[in-house]
Amino acid sequence: MRRKSALEEKGITHIVSVLKYDFKDFEHWEQYQHLSIEVDDVDDENLLVEFERTGKFIEKGLKSEKDGKKGGVLVHW
């Protein structure tokens, strides 16, 4: 995520982050729609409760358009 050009090349408009992290230090963060799922990196973390919300967010991102191009979604953990 640190290379802005890589996100632009892939047409990323939406980002799903599945981790506990403060993204305030990233430049140009405001140009992306962002969904943050704050979870601990442990075996028994229940991610199933987040599926509906993340699914809707991803669907919205893929249906979006920016500069006449379809949106793209980056999911990282």
Considering only residues 58 and 46, tell me which one the structure prediction assigns the higher pLDDT: 58
Spatial contact of 29 and 23, defined as CB atoms under 8 Å apart: yes
Average pLDDT over residues 10-20: 89
What does the pLDDT average to over 45-73? 91
**33 phi and psi angles, rounded to 5 deg:** -80, 135
Q: What share of the chain is helix, strand, coil (3-state, %, to 5)?
A: 35, 25, 35
Strands 65-66 and 69-70 come out as antiparallel
SS3 53: helix
